Structures are given as C-alpha cells and as structure tokens.
Amino acid sequence: MSRSTAIAAGLGPAAAEQSAAAGPRRAPGWRGPKLRKKTELTILLAPALILFVGFVLVPIVIAAYYSFYSWSGYGPLNDYIGLRNYSYAFQDPAFIHAIEHTLMLTVASVVIQGPLAISIALLLNRKFVGRGFLRTVVFAPYVLPPAVTGVMWSLILQPGGFADQVLKSFGLGGLVQLWLANVHIVLGTVFVVLTWQYLGFGIVLLLAGLQNIPKELKEAAEIDGASPWQVTRRITLPLLAPTVRIWGFITIIGSLQIFDIVWILTEGGPANASGTISTYMYLEGVQSTDFGFASAIAVILFAFCFVFALFYQRFALRRDTRGAITRAVG
C-alpha cells in the first residue's frame, strides 16, 4: 500500500512537469496541433476504417449487386433479373415462415429472457454464501461455443434421451415430447436452448450494471424508510435501464441473425417448422448454390437489422448515447 502510493507520488510530479514543458513549446505554432490531430486521427482510424470498408461496406454493396442477378456461383454474372429475387422471396411460404419464426424468437428473447435475466441478476447481486460459484455456473453456458451447445442439446433432446429420462424419473413421463421432431413444438425447443445459452450473458451484463449503481442512493432511500421492493422499483431498476437497453439491442440483433444453434439442432426443419431467415439464406445460398437469391435474402436481413438499429438508436438508446450519436445525426 505505502509503496504504491510512493510510486504514485513519485510519478505524479514528473508527469505533470512533462506536460507543462510540452505545453508552451507547442503553443506558438497555430497549425501544428491541428495537423498533428489530423495525422493522429488518420493513423489511428485508418486501419479500422480500411477493415470496416473492406469487410463490411464493400461486401454489403457486392451482395446488393449480386441480388439483382440469377447466379449459381458458376460462370459469369450476366443474367440480370432486376428485383425478381426479392419478389420470389416474398412469394415463398418458407421465407415468410422464416421471417415469422425469426420475429417470434426475437420477441420471446426480449419478453422472456429479459425479466428472467433481470431477476436472476438482482438475486445474484445480494451477498450470500456461494454467490461467486453461482455466478460462474450461470455464465458457463455462454462460454460454450454455440456449435457445442447445439450438438449437446441435440443429444439431450433425442427421443428417449437425457431430457426424457429426467422427466420420467420425476414421474413426469406424460410431458415427454418429440422435442425436435414435432413441428408444433420444435420452435419452442429451439428457444429454450437459446435461452440456456444466452441468459448468462444478459445476467453478467446486468450484474455489471448493478455494480455501477451508487450504494449511497439505496442507503439514503432505506434511511428514508423505503421498503426493499420500493428500493428496487424506484432506484435500482431506473438506474439499470441503460444496461437493459444495451442488452435489448444486442439480444434483438443477435436473435434476428440467429443461425448456428438452430442449424445444428434442426437444420430449420422438420418441414421448415424452425427455419429462420439465416438458415433459409444458408439453404438457398450454400446448399442450393443460388447465390443471387441468397444475396437478396442477405440484403433483406441487413435491411431488417439496419432499420431496427437506427430506430433503436434514435428512440431507445438516445439518452445513453447523447453527444455521441444524437449530435452527429441531428
């Protein structure tokens, strides 16, 4: 402790001296700092900018370009069909179902995972024996790669598998279903697995948000005679709101694009009953090598996410990002 303060004290004046010495020397040149700032910006931003343009913007433009062609991936790009890929997409019941499934998963993620994550985070924010262990356990599924999760759950959920055995051993054999083979419940099964995987992420994010709420506020409220519920309702939750909004953003974008777990669990089946926009895109693009059509799907998905992101930034995240986004936009 004492040594670290000594070092801090030793460093402090030296640093201050340095900056003081640097200050006046630069002051006379008017253009100097501006030029320096520009150079700095260029050097620091260029790599990120090049990567962003090369790996994000250019592919989006190329995908949009491909989407106007009927193109199998072989041979030249010469069969221009205008917007027909888009009209085909919206005429295909499988794609309409894929949109429905994607939206259902997205809404369910927010409506069910949200309150669950908040309540578990509030619980885990209290002091009790084994809290650290429980936090680790809750976060553990998120650490698994989604592919591993998919394979593991497809084994657990196979007919007569672990899930069925557990239900039977509790005398709940009547609840046993064909989890992945029944077209009516397969989407629900997929959602449960998604929740298992991603709930931990929400909890950890919200726990971090809870750490940032000053204790003094709660203490003051308690001194004023607020009940624990009132403290949670009036102090904790409002102050947690920015974190919840960020969690919502990540969850919704993630749900709109969900692919890996769904693909491994069901490949979008049976009979498209669990297909999402991304699995549909993969089927059409990679398996059917209809790259023009799949590009159109990609553009539609991009448009979905982009429009959502803009609206969310504008209306939900506005307070959190004031000065960063809002000023640039406005």
Binding site for other proteins (CB under 8 A): 72-75, 84, 88, 92, 94, 154-155, 158-161, 178-183, 186, 266-267, 269-273, 283, 286-290, 293
Omega cis (within 30) before 141:
no
Residue type, 156: I
Residues 14, 68: Cα–Cα separation, whole Å: 63
Nearer to other proteins, 94 or 144 (CB): 94
Residue type, 320: D
CA distances, 193 to each of 98, 151, 188, 283 (Å): 18, 11, 9, 22
Paired strand residues for 69: 80
Report, in Å, the least distance between residue 57 CB and other proteins: 21
Q: Which of 249, 254, 259, 253 has the alpha carbon at shortest distance from 294?
A: 259
Q: Which residue has the tokens 């051993």?
A: 169
Report, in Å, the least distance between residue 96 CB and other proteins: 14
SS3 69: strand
Report, in Å, the least distance between residue 63 CB and other proteins: 15
SS3 80: strand
Nearer to other proteins, 92 or 320 (CB): 92
Residues 185, 178: Cα–Cα separation, whole Å: 8
Q: Which residue has the tokens 């979008």?
A: 268
Nearer to other proteins, 251 or 272 (CB): 272
Residue type, 25: R
Report, in Å, the least distance between residue 56 CB and other proteins: 20
Task: Give the rounded distance of the alpha carbon of 153 from its chain centre.
Answer: 21
Residue 276: DSSP 8-state: -
Q: Which of 298, 307, 309 has the alpha carbon at shortest distance from 86?
A: 298
Report, in Å, the least distance between residue 70 CB and other proteins: 9
In this structure, are residues 89 and 300 in contact, taking their beta carbons and an 8 Å threshold? Answer: yes
Report, in Å, the least distance between residue 52 CB and other proteins: 23
Nearer to other proteins, 109 or 290 (CB): 290
Nearer to other proteins, 94 or 217 (CB): 94
| Count of beta carbons in the 10 Å neighbourhood of residue 221 | 17
Phi-psi region of 267 (alpha: psi -120 to 50; beta: other; left: phi over 0): left
Nearer to other proteins, 125 or 276 (CB): 276
Nearer to other proteins, 33 or 159 (CB): 159
Helix (H) or strand (E) holding 36: helix 31-52
Nearer to other proteins, 7 or 58 (CB): 58
Report, in Å, the least distance between residue 291 CB and other proteins: 8
Report, in Å, the least distance between residue 194 CB and other proteins: 17
